[in-house]
Every structure is written in C-alpha cells, then in structure tokens.
Amino acid sequence: MTSGETERRVIVVTGASKGIGLHLAEHYLGHGHAVAGCSRGASSLKHDLYAHYQADVTDERDVSALMKGVVHRFGRLDVLINNAGVASMNHIITMPTSTAESIIRTNLVGSFLCTREAGKAMIARKWGRIVNFTTVARPLALPGEAVYAASKAGVEELTKVAAKELGSFNITVNAIGAAPVMTDLIRHVPTEKIERLLDQLAIRRMGEYRDISNVADFLISEASDFVTGQIIYLGGVC
C-alpha cells in the first residue's frame, strides 16, 4: 500500500489502456489496490484485482454503467483518476470543428461526467479522492494548443468548484498538471516544439511516469484529507 496505508482502495482509472493511465493502473495494482480501468478499446492488462470496461467517457450511459459496475463488482469506489484525454496541435485558423469538439468533450465533459457519477458513489460512503489531469500547456499558453489548453482550463475550474461542492463529504478534488511525458499523445509533436516547451520549465527534462504516480500517491493518500482544489504542475511552471 502507498504511504504506509493498510486499506485496499478501489481505484477507477480512465484511459487505462496505454500511456499514463496504464502506468497508474499497474502502479496501484502493484501496491495491492483494486483497479477498474476504462478506454474505448480493449486492454491487455491481466490481473486478479483488475477489471477493464470498454467505456467512452463522453457517453453518459457508458459512464453511468462503468461507475455502477465498479460498485457492483468491488463493493465501493474510493478513488477516481480522470486521466482519459486527447490532444491535437493545430493553429486556430486550421483547427477543424470536429477535432475541437472531440477535445472539449473528452477532456472536459468526460471529466465532468466521471466526477458526477463516481461522486454519487463516494458521497454515499462520505469518502473519496478525485484526481484530474491538466497540462503545463495551460499556464504556458502554448501556440498550437489553444483548444487543448482551453479544455484543460475547464478541467482546472471543474477541479476547484468540485472541491468546494464535495468537500463536506470528505471528498478531495485536485489536478496534476503534467509536463511532457513520451506517450502516443505527443509522439508526433515535432522535437523542436517539445524542446521549446522544456526551455520554459524550471527543471529542464521530460516528465516520466514516476513523476505522475508520485503526485497521484500524495493526492489520494489518507493523510492528504486537507489538500483539495489544488493544481500541481510538474517541472516548475510559475
């Protein structure tokens, strides 16, 4: 268990089929927790304490069925990690409407729907941890990332307001602002663009999976019950 905890948590990780979400699912399984992952596609992850749900976070019925399925299978739902996300770099002038809508729906509406449905299960037990995902591209206002950064700005506000609305139920809501981590999400971003982004960080390196799970461990721990509504950026973005 993390941070000396003894209780097994039931943790939902959205977007768990690859990248950061897969890392988090494996990380928490490795620490003895039960994990329910979701993605639109299938997962190759096999573990006695892992259940994969093919669910689209933009689909209200999918999300409701996912959270109800988790409670039915594991008896409760303690932690939601709203990791599922999509990105697309484009100048505003050439950004297709369908791409913009997909980014907003997945990153913002998806996080909202999962928070709402998982929040119901957490309120019933008066305990919960919600971790959202934003990006250093939001405070850095990077050219080419207008819609992506705007979707994550929405996630940040969702985080702060949800923290206030859910605080009296012992549910904390925070967000991790990741620096670039080499996953499929950014694999096709030109090297010079990533280099320019790294130049703006206090600590000039790519993010690694361990950087993400380190912050997630802190945010979901029992001891972090007084930490809520916070956005923690990695790499030093001031």
Q: For tokens 């992850």, what's the residue? A: 45
Query: Per CB under 6 A, does 139 bind ligand NAP?
Result: no
Q: Does 174 bind ligand NAP (CB under 6 A)?
A: no
Q: Where are the alpha helices (DSSP H) in the chain?
A: 19-30, 60-74, 97-104, 110-125, 137-140, 146-166, 191-198, 209-220
Give the side-chain half-sphere CA count within 13 A for 16.
27
Least Å distance, CB 137 to ligand NAP, is 7
Quick check: 232 binds ligand NAP (CB under 6 A)?
A: no
Indicate the pairing of strand 10-14 with strand 79-82.
parallel
Q: How many CB atoms lie within 10 A of CB 155?
A: 25
Q: Is 148 a catalytic residue?
A: yes
Binding string, residues 23-62; x marks residues near ligand NAP by CB under 6 A: ---------------xxxx--------------xxx----
Closest CA to 7 of 25, 28, 32: 32
* Annotated catalytic residue, options 28, 148, 209, 233: 148
The nearer residue to ligand NAP, 21 or 128, going by C-beta atoms, is 21
Residues touching ligand NAP, count (CB under 6 A): 31
For residue 159, state whether it binds ligand NAP (rule: CB under 6 A).
no
Residue 98 in tokens: 């369908």
Residues that bind ligand NAP (CB under 6 A): 14-21, 38-41, 56-58, 83-87, 106, 110, 133, 135, 178, 180-181, 183-186
Catalytic residues: 148
